[in-house]
Amino acid sequence: MKSKSNIRKVTFLIILLNCLFISCTYNTEEATDKTSKTLPNGKYLVVEKITKASSSWGVLTNHYYGTYSYKYKISIPQEDINWNGGSGEPKNILFCKDTTYIRYLKKRL
């Protein structure tokens, strides 16, 4: 008899935890923004920023949980430069005679 009681308790706990985890609504959106600009030195610059927004609403608790992530890509077609910095945010571009430097910030985890 005692084992049937324990099985019922465990089953009830599993059902309760399942309901709590399922009781959130999830939404993920991704937006891409491309900006093109001609620089004073005549070079053409294309910056692509990808924003990913993930959100969850607790159905029972009505709490909002949201996260944002960004990815950056830079291309300069005349110099065949394609930089994919991922989550690194570009800050400066320096053009030298025979090379190009990109300074960026990336959060350390």
- Cβ atoms of 47 and 38 closer than 8 Å: no
Both structure tokens of 80? 């065949």
The structural domain count of the chain equals 1
Which residue segment(s) compose the domain that 83 sits in? 25-105
pLDDT for residue 1: 52
pLDDT for residue 106: 83
pLDDT for residue 17: 66
Is 96 a member of any domain? yes
Beta bridge partners of 56: 26, 65
pLDDT for residue 8: 80
Is 9 a member of any domain? no
Is 4 a member of any domain? no
User: Distance between CA atoms of 86 and 16, rounded to whole angstroms?
Assistant: 40
Is 10 a member of any domain? no
pLDDT for residue 78: 84
Is 72 a member of any domain? yes
**pLDDT tens, per residue, the chain with 109 residues:** 566 677 888 888 877 766 666 667 778 999 999 999 998 888 899 999 999 999 887 766 677 888 888 899 999 888 888 898 877 888 888 888 888 888 888 877 6
